[in-house]
Amino acid sequence: MSLEVVHSPSTSRYLLLKDGAEIGHAAYAIRGDEFMITGTFVDPTQRGGGIGAIMVKRVIDDILATTDKKITSGCWFVTAWLERNPGYIEAHRDGGVDAELGNTCRIV
């Protein structure tokens, strides 16, 4: 099994590919100095094996490597991943709670 995460700037998504077929994605929005991950999706038949967590880590790693924007979570799955991996994003890159979504998400 080959897993790949590919950035698709034209669709504001990172695509999750398994053996070349799209099985999920992470959507995002760029607002000023924030890079907000707005939602994630993994095909229901592929869930439960940690594939979503692999995708989130690779997306965050790419954002950290290619931009200097603060990372904000607007997705419960991303927020939960960050809570399980405290300190993964340095304090100066943490965008915290999204102002539009209120306390539905947070980064710790």
At 8, give phi and psi (nearest 5°). -120, 80
Quick: pLDDT tens for 49-100.
Answer: 999 999 999 999 999 889 999 898 899 999 899 888 888 887 556 665 555 5
Residue (of 24, 20, 36) closest to 73 by Cα position: 36
The pLDDT score that the predictor gives to residue 95 is 61
Domain 3-104 has CATH 3.40.630.30: yes
Q: From the CB of residue 88, how many other CB atoms can be counted at a distance below 10 Å?
A: 17
Long-range contacts of 45-50 (CB under 8 A, 24+ apart): 46/18
Whole-number percent of the chain with pLDDT over 90:
60
Domain ranges of the chain: 3-104
